[in-house]
């Protein structure tokens, strides 16, 4: 049994991670800026809850205390809609907040698992990407790249704390996670949300772009392996499925599994968003490192994962009533 802190524990990945840690028998502290426990976690009676922002070192010190074994740092400003609209918040939370977490964890001797993103690779056309692949980004005048840059700088911070201050840490780069509880602002969640509400899912630029979609349960399995295995200490890992599918294929699958009652809406991103939105043609991981070191690989097929997501959504009217954001 370990004592774990999950920053952003109310969020999509965080809430699933908390569920799994509790089932393992770990002591869990949730650190989140939201005051109430999330709707999908009614069994969190044994969780210690600390309200606060990672931007506040003082508030973090109430959660990351002596005796904490591992900090899963998931708190971040995530989603294309948010980093097009609020790049300053993205940079402040993702960069400054991460520094606060690393500093506090180093003081109390806790390990950190920092949740990064496939976005750090930017527009590198040489896929699948290995962990040490080059970063190729667009202009700094486009808000689109504030998220990628903030997460990359946070990775530099993490490596710096490991090398200069002796912090024990690992980095996990998630590739297109989806599943129950995700807000309807991402491709799979938004498509399920719209289809079940009788609205046509959206495809950007004809949907020829390709992605590797990773079901949340698989990602949580990987995250806990990274947080608990000594082989992961000091390492960075891609966490994602290696199955490459087009955006159009993924949306068509959602339509099929929800009964095929609605068609599709196609949006030209240049007409809708101008130069502020810059999409990527392909985003595929090389997940060989985590397989060789930890024995992990994504095992949930897109069809199975989407079916589970639809089943959960049909039983969650509060989620279907949410307003979506159609930016991502």
Of 211, 217, 214, 218, residue with least CA distance to 178? 214
Q: Which residues contact 3 (CB under 8 A, 6 or more apart)?
A: 26, 27, 29, 67, 68, 69, 70
Cβ–Cβ < 8 Å for 49, 30 = yes
**SS3 of 72-113:** EECCCCCCHHHHHHCHHHHHHHHHHHHHHHHHHHHHHCCEEE
Active-site residue, from 72, 147, 174, 204: 147
* CB-count burial class (<10 Å; 0-12, 13-18, 19+) for 61: middle
308 CB burial (10 A radius; 0-12, 13-18, 19+): middle
Rg of the chain on CA atoms, in Å: 19
Based on the residue annotation, tell me whether 174 is a catalytic residue of this protein: no
Supply 173's token pair.
Answer: 């780069």
> CB under 8 Å to 230, separation ≥6 — which residues?
none
Spatial distance between the Cα atoms of 117 and 138, rounded to a whole number of angstroms: 17
Alpha-carbon gap, residue 7 to 50, rounded angstroms: 10
Q: Find tokens 């991670």 and name the residue.
A: 17
Indicate the DSSP class of residue 35: S
Q: Catalytic positions, please? A: 147
């Amino acid at each position: 049994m370990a004592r774990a802190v999950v920053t952003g524990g109310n969020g999509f990945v965080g809430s699933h991670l908390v569920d799994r840690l509790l089932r393992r028998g770990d002591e869990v502290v949730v650190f989140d800026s939201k005051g109430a426990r999330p709707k999908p976690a009614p069994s969190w009676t044994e969780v210690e809850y600390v309200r606060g922002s990672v931007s506040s070192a003082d508030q973090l010190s109430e959660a990351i205390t002596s005796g904490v074994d591992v900090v899963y740092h998931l708190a971040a400003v995530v989603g294309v809609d948010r980093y097009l609209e609020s790049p300053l918040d993205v940079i402040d939370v993702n960069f400054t907040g991460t520094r606060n977490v690393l500093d506090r964890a180093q003081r109390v001797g806790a390990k950190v698992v920092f949740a990064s993103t496939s976005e750090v690779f930017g527009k590198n056309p040489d896929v699948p990407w290995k962990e040490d692949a080059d970063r190729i980004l667009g202009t700094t005048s486009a808000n689109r790249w504030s998220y990628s840059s903030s997460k990359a700088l946070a990775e530099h911070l993490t490596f710096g704390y490991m090398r200069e201050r002796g912090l024990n840490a690992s980095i996990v780069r998630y590739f297109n996670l989806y599943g129950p509880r995700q807000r309807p602002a991402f491709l799979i969640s938004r498509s399920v949300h719209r289809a079940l509400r009788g609205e046509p899912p959206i495809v950007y630029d004809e949907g020829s772009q390709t992605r590797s979609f990773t079901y949340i349960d698989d990602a949580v399995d990987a995250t806990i392996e990274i947080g608990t295995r000594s082989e992961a200490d000091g390492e960075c890992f891609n966490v994602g499925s290696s199955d490459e599918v087009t955006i159009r294929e993924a949306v068509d699958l959602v339509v099929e599994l929800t009964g095929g009652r609605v068609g599709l809406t196609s949006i030209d991103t240049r007409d809708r968003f101008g130069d502020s939105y810059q999409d990527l043609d392909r985003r595929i991981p090389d997940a060989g490192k985590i397989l060789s070191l930890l024995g992990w690989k994504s095992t949930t097929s897109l069809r199975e994962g989407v079916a589970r997501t639809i089943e959960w959504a049909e039983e969650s009217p509060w989620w279907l009533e949410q307003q979506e954001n159609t930016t991502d």
